A and B are shown apart, each in its own frame.
Chain A
Amino acid sequence: DVKVTQSSRYLVKRTGEKVFLECVQDMDHENMFWYRQDPGLGLRLIYFSYDVKMKEKGDIPEGYSVSREKKERFSLILESASTNQTSMYLCASSPPPNFRYSNQPQHFGDGTRLSIL
Chain B
Amino acid sequence: DAKTTQPPSMDCAEGRAANLPCNHSTISGNEYVYWYRQIHSQGPQYIIHGLKNNETNEMASLIITEDRKSSTLILPHATLRDTAVYYCIVRVYNAGNMLTFGGGTRLMVKP
Contact = CB atoms under 8 A, between A and B. Distances in A.
Interface stretch (B22-30, B61-69, B91-99): B91-99
Interface string B68-83: 0000000000000000
In this complex, the interface size class of chain A, counting residues with CB under 8 Å from chain B, is 20 to 34
Given A42-B100, A105-B34, A105-B49, A111 B95 contact: no
B99 A90 contact: no
Contacts of B34: 105
Given A90-B43, A109-B43, A110-B43, A104 B95 contact: yes
Contacts of B44: 43, 90, 92, 108
A75 interface: no
B45 A108 contact: yes
A50 B98 CA distance: 12
Given A42-B103, A113-B41, 8 more contacts: A31-B95, A42-B102, A97-B96, A106-B99, A108-B45, A108-B46, A110-B42, A111-B41
24 contacts: A30-B96, A31-B96, A33-B98, A35-B99, A42-B101, A42-B102, A42-B103, A43-B99, A50-B96, A58-B98, A90-B43, A90-B44, A91-B43, A92-B43, A96-B96, A101-B95, A102-B93, A103-B49, A105-B34, A105-B49, A106-B46, A106-B95, A108-B43, A111-B42
